[in-house]
Structure 1
């Protein structure tokens, strides 16, 4: 009964738009107070808040956010889009494919789905609509492409999962690389199929001479360099995630200064945005520890594991039920809140079923991507709708084919887990 009350309180706080960290923390605090009284609350507050956030493992998060903010302030996204348009513009729906490829490249140095969606909405949607793309297709495509930042390393969400699950940050980050490529390909194929079915939704491709393509190479270089600095050094064991994140932030700063795109005001804005985002994430981590401590005292996790173990259903069926639960949660809550609330409870169940925790992290991030574009919350949809002045309902209709493609990928990764685990297993230790 106490657990039901606490969960109900949590959802009420979230529904009234209380910040996620405060909502989780207050619900956990209420549960802890009712279960163990003030001594339990004071015992937690005396030690855990400091130890929960004052850890070296968390240091990649603010550094990756800083790298992303510096890239945003340097205006790299616009140049990436122009380069992709020149290289792949000749194929059918070439501008849509260019949006997807440039979005994937930008995701590799941004780490934030909402930032990627907002940037792409400002750079690519006006260009697509000017060239004759149906607004519903253009806005739906951008909303989905923005979700790639959740999967393509260095993903802040994957780092957050690794910390919650107490797994290797390096391996979890690398695990998202191949799935990120497959998600990108799935989005491109879906776009081509939509345009083939309804040719009037997008114009024919536009070819560009090789001279124009060569001129775009300097725009691609900075992103490639940052990707190698971060992911390359992690994969080959040359740097820890924290060291790689520091290299990425330094590289983004030097690139912005060298290209004379980064002003003092831009650096100040990047630092302030980094501070705000980092404080929000650290608050959620602290709140998750508090809520997890309450669940530990009430033995919810152990009882749930025992209940799942006693079921006669095959592990695949049980996991699909977990997927459905995550899809429902994704329609109402943001990714960080979902991970903070569910990973401490669900991960032991998944391991009991025999699934790898690194694979599970990639899976729930993929499912959370779907939640970013499904009603009623659909955060990326509302970001794109606000940026373009279009109704959210129109954008939601535009993402329907892509949601189907992402659901197919969930089944593919469930059937072939090595698609996720192959690269982490090949890493240099």
Structure 2
């Protein structure tokens, strides 16, 4: 019976992953099944009545919707598109530069959004077509964007870092500080791997090509870069100086992103 309790949820997990079950409902179902097999109906009922609320009734977890709201505002400003345009203007035709900039932008977008899902959506929507349009193969562009989007899971202010800090009962601010160096190191390692791959496998795949007629003025890119940098500096500066807590930083970031959208004139009914 004990072996059944161990292997039944595991086998069910593998099966549901293969058939394409949603991860959230999958782990919820397996958790309920595991509690039932171990403790029976009484323990399962007690868990659903008390623990299911108490485990998420945390002030620190309010950070998550605030950072997701901030991420949506950042997407609405199209600042990522402008930053990518600036990178293109500065890169010229040098091999691999756009790919490296894509990885760096993935880290920067994680720093101003905090949401892995929002970063993935932005990277897939904006940078993937840009890379393909400028000479990257579809496979290489997809791999570069996928790698860059994962950086937001560790670059502060990361929602995953917040969840881990709450679960481990450690200060969120200290977790943010501790994740800076690993995040920068990941950007460096990913960039080196990409450059090495381009040199060995696809020596002619990263030739940037774009007509002058479809290139907006560089002043637009510089303004977006300055505003994005000021927003990231305000969030990190406020957290590290103690001006506001990491939880409050989500609200501050959402407000700054909305103000930035207003200043850029990009607030409309679709925003």
Shorter-chain TM-score: which interval? 0.7 to 0.9
Q: Structure 1 residues 259 and 34 mapped into 2: Cα distance closer, same or farther (>3 Å)? A: same
- TM-score relative to the length of structure 2: 0.85
Aligned residue number for residue 97 of structure 1: 100
Residue 36 (structure 1) aligned to one of 32, 35, 39: 39
Aligned residue number for residue 72 of structure 2: 69
Q: Once the 2 structures are TM-superposed, how far is the Cα of residue 213 of structure 1 from its aligned partner?
A: 5.9
Mapped pair 1:168 → 2:171: yes
Aligned residue number for residue 259 of structure 2: 254
Is the 8 Å Cα contact of residues 173 and 239 (structure 2) preserved in structure 1?
yes
Alignment of 1:9-48 (within 5 A): 9-48=12-51
- TM-score relative to the length of structure 1: 0.56
Q: Once the 2 structures are TM-superposed, how far is the Cα of residue 255 of structure 1 from its aligned partner?
A: 1.2
Partners of 1:154 and 1:81 lie apart in 2 by 21
Partners of 1:3 and 1:134 lie apart in 2 by 45
Is the 8 Å Cα contact of residues 63 and 247 (structure 2) preserved in structure 1?
yes
Secondary structure of residue in 2 paired with 1:178: helix
Aligned residue number for residue 276 of structure 1: none
Residue 157 (structure 1) aligned to one of 153, 160, 163: 160
Residue 202 (structure 1) aligned to one of 200, 206, 212: 206
Q: Structure 1 residues 36 and 92 mapped into 2: Cα distance closer, same or farther (>3 Å)? A: closer
Is the 8 Å Cα contact of residues 87 and 213 (structure 1) preserved in structure 2?
no
Q: Structure 1 residues 240 and 191 mapped into 2: Cα distance closer, same or farther (>3 Å)? A: same
Q: Once the 2 structures are TM-superposed, how far is the Cα of residue 124 of structure 1 from its aligned partner?
A: 2.9
Mapped pair 1:227 → 2:232: yes
Alignment of 1:101-140 (within 5 A): 101-140=104-143
Partners of 2:256 and 2:206 lie apart in 1 by 38
Is the 8 Å Cα contact of residues 91 and 205 (structure 1) preserved in structure 2?
no
Q: Once the 2 structures are TM-superposed, how far is the Cα of residue 60 of structure 1 from its aligned partner?
A: 0.7
Secondary structure of residue in 2 paired with 1:242: helix
Mapped pair 1:142 → 2:145: yes
Segments of 5+ residues of structure 2 without an aligned counterpart are: none
Secondary structure of residue in 2 paired with 1:238: coil
